[in-house]
């Protein structure tokens, strides 16, 4: 182990222990008690009253490990659906805003068209008052040479004005038609995104309900052992990550905006995870990171998948506080690096915003909002 590694690991573990007690790797978990003997001695059975039925034996560790893996999958699927929900919501909000802008353009265009029609009507009325003769005919019938010369300029101006008016009426009518078609297309997209949101919402609720039902079937002692297994798995993953010597390489300093983002995110510690939430009272994982960077004056995409797609990728060894660590192959989770091998994140339903080891989950990569 590299010099000073013990101190680095102790620092990272201390950060994690600030919010939860971690079971040390290799700690023996309570094993099930011995099963009752399948048969009693004849004398005992004849001389004593029947013993009460023994309590069900706790589930073996391997069974609880299977439960833990099942819960991880259910909550992971819920996280994927949450990202889909958030993406559909973001798109729906964008479509709604575009529809509002198009509606404003339609209203303004209609006002303009009405004014153009009024002007055209006024020109037609003026022609009627002069006996229905166009300006050119009236000019030719004039007996006054000076009137003829003056009138020539007016006729030319009138012709240009009439052509301009007709062109403007036509352009405005075409604009209104295009605005109406665009608005119709945006409505269709909005409806599609609403359906996507509804489907994602349904899946989220199904996954969370299945997880809660699975947990509800466990006895209190089993729940405690399950929680210990979860902590041990996270601790072992974090220890393996630290043992790679990664912290010897990471020494980046936070930018000013990064410091603000970290300050905002850590101030939310203790607030509950709620899927689709962006604060101020609750957050999901990308709701926390997006709001932290928005507070720092640098808006970023709403979902972890879009954060992974759109933000600049940096090497893990080059990351600095404020950078975002994207987890799992499908970019379904995100946390904010705060330094010393730790992240702040909103884990999953039933949990609160907390500190955790940066290597406690499979890392897909790191992105930098203010690159």
SS (H, E, C) 303-370: CHHHHHHHCEEECHHHCCCCCEEEECCCCCEEEEEEECCEEEECCCCCCECEEEECCCCCEEEEEECC
Superfamily of segment(s) 246-371: endopeptidase domain like (from Nostoc punctiforme) (3.90.1720.10)
Cβ neighbours for 197, distance < 8 A, ≥ 6 positions apart: 85, 88, 89, 92
Q: What is the pLDDT of residue 190?
A: 83
Closest CA to 322 of 254, 251, 247: 254
Q: What is the mean pLDDT of the chain?
A: 77
**What's the mean pLDDT in 77-91?**
87
Which amino acids are annotated catalytic? 285, 333, 345
pLDDT at 9 over 50: no
Q: What share of the chain in percent tops pLDDT 70?
A: 71
Q: What is the pLDDT of residue 355?
A: 94
The pLDDT-based confidence of 23 (bands split at 50, 70, 90) is: very low
Cβ neighbours for 77, distance < 8 A, ≥ 6 positions apart: 203, 207
Least confident of 150-159, 253-262, 357-366: 150-159
**What pLDDT, in 10s, does the model give residues 104-134?**
888 888 887 787 777 767 766 665 555 554 5
Q: What is the pLDDT of residue 197?
A: 82
Q: What is the pLDDT of residue 216?
A: 83
Highest mean pLDDT among 16-30, 170-184, 228-242, 279-293: 279-293
Tally Cβ neighbours within 10 Å of residue 338: 23
**What pLDDT, in 10s, does the model give residues 328-367?**
999 999 999 999 999 999 999 989 999 999 999 999 999 9
Cα(272)–Cα(284) distance, integer angstroms? 8
Residue carrying structure tokens 């037609």: 124
The pLDDT-based confidence of 37 (bands split at 50, 70, 90) is: very low
**What pLDDT, in 10s, does the model give residues 87-101?**
888 888 887 888 888
pTM: 0.63
pLDDT at 265 over 60: yes
Q: What is the pLDDT of residue 125?
A: 65
**What's the mean pLDDT in 138-150?**
52
């Amino acid at each position: 182990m590299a010099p000073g590694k013990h101190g680095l690991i102790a620092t990272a573990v201390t950060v994690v222990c600030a919010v939860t007690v971690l079971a040390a790797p290799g700690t023996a978990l309570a094993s099930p008690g011995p099963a009752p003997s399948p048969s009693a001695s004849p004398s005992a059975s004849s001389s004593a009253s029947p013993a009460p039925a023994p309590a069900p034996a706790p589930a073996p560790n391997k069974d609880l490990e299977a439960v833990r893996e099942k819960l991880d999958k259910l909550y992971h699927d819920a996280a994927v659906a949450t990202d889909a929900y958030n993406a559909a919501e973001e798109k729906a909000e964008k479509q709604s805003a575009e529809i509002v802008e198009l509606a404003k353009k339609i209203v303004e265009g209609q006002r303009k068209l009405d004014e153009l029609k009024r002007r055209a009507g006024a020109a037609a009325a003026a022609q009627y008052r002069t006996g229905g003769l166009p300006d050119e005919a009236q000019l030719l019938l004039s007996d006054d040479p000076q009137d003829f010369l003056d009138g020539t300029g007016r006729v030319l101006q009138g012709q240009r004005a009439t052509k301009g008016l007709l062109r403007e009426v036509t352009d405005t009518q075409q604009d209104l038609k295009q605005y109406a078609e665009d608005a119709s297309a945006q409505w269709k997209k909005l409806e599609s995104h609403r359906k996507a949101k509804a489907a994602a919402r349904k899946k989220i609720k199904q996954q969370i309900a299945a997880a809660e039902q699975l947990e509800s079937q466990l006895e209190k002692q089993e729940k405690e052992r399950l929680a210990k297994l979860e902590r041990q798995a996270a601790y072992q993953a974090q220890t393996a990550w630290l043992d790679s010597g990664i912290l010897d390489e990471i020494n980046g300093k936070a930018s000013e905006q990064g410091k603000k983002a970290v300050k905002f995110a850590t101030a939310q510690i203790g607030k509950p995870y709620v899927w689709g939430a962006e604060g101020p009272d609750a957050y999901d994982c990308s709701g926390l990171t997006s709001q932290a960077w928005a507070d720092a004056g640098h808006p970023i995409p709403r979902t972890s998948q879009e954060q992974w797609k759109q933000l600049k990728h940096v090497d893990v060894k080059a990351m600095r506080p404020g950078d975002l660590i994207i987890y799992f192959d499908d970019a379904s989770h995100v946390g904010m690096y705060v330094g010393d091998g730790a992240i702040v994140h909103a884990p999953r339903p039933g949990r609160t915003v907390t500190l955790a080891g940066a290597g406690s989950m499979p890392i897909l990569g790191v992105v930098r909002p203010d690159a």
